């Protein structure tokens, strides 16, 4: 079956512009996570959805970052007034809402954002 | 979530076992140990997880110490394609599982 997909795979934008990054989770997965990863570092948590609602947005760095998941499947990460420091790979992961062992996160390939 | 510490890098000869250690001395009773790996330019890939018993699947084995303060991921017969960054994470499982807190992982290089 299809895995987590993210579009675009690469995005180049200019400082100050607005960008949207899209994540299509695995069908039926209720949990969805956004992370960002800078070169040479591990992924850094941004926000986590359980269904349509943000269960934990403690990782969003400031109010320029916002994410939505209006129908409980596809999610969009929105970044306003982009800065060069926002350049990173943005990773999305999904997870089924089940107890016990089957709680691993399935990651997409990421969107590489470059802010010039 | 509890934090983990891992060596920055390790080498392993092709065909030999790769043993990757992880310390998680502040792990809570309801936290599992998860291992992921990330091959260059790809998203992290789940490998295995466990609570307190040793676990084995088709990819690897996970050995957790009795006090749960450390664990070892074992790749029994490493291949060149196992070259990757390996992340050890401790995380609550179950229906209310939340974020994963990644460190910088161990870069494993498998050499011919």
- On whether the CB atoms of residues A78 and A20 are closer than 8 A, the answer is yes
pLDDT along chain B (112 residues), means of 10: 87 97 92 92 92 93 96 97 95 71 93 96
Interchain pair A59, B95: CB under 8 A: no
Please tell me the predicted confidence (pLDDT) of residue B40. Answer: 87
Please tell me the predicted confidence (pLDDT) of residue B3. Answer: 87
How close are the terminal C-alpha atoms of chain A, in Å?
37
Band (pLDDT 50/70/90 cuts) for residue A4 is very high
Please tell me the predicted confidence (pLDDT) of residue A101. Answer: 47
pLDDT tens track for A45-101? 999 998 899 988 999 999 999 999 999 999 999 999 999 999 999 999 998 865 454
What distance in Å separates residue A42's CA from the closest CA in chain B?
5
Interchain pair A105, B95: CB under 8 A: no
Residue A50 CA: distances (Å) to CA of A13, A95, B27, B96, B102: 30, 9, 24, 9, 20
How close are the terminal C-alpha atoms of chain B, in Å?
37
């Amino acid at each position: 079956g299809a895995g987590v997909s993210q579009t675009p795979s690469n995005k180049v934008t200019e400082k100050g512009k607005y960008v949207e990054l899209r994540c299509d989770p695995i069908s039926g997965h209720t949990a969805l996570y956004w992370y960002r990863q800078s070169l040479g570092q591990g992924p850094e948590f941004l926000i986590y959805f359980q269904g349509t609602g943000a269960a934990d947005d403690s990782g969003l760095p400031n109010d320029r970052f916002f994410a939505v998941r209006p129908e409980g499947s596809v999610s969009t990460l929105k970044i306003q007034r982009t800065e060069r420091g926002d350049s990173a790979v943005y990773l999305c992961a999904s997870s089924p809402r089940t107890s016990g062992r089957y709680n691993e996160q399935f990651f997409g390939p990421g969107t590489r954002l470059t802010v010039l | 979530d509890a934090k983990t510490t891992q060596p920055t890098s390790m080498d392993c000869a092709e065909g030999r076992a790769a043993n990757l250690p992880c310390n998680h001395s502040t792990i809570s009773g309801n936290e599992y140990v998860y291992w992921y790996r990330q091959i260059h330019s790809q998203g992290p890939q789940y490998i295995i997880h466990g609570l307190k018993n040793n676990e084995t699947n088709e990819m690897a084995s996970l050995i957790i110490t009795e006090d749960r303060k450390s664990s070892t991921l074992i790749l029994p017969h490493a291949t060149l394609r196992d070259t990757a960054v390996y992340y050890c994470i401790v995380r609550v499982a179950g229906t209310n599982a939340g974020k994963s807190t990644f460190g910088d992982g161990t870069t494993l290089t498998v050499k011919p």
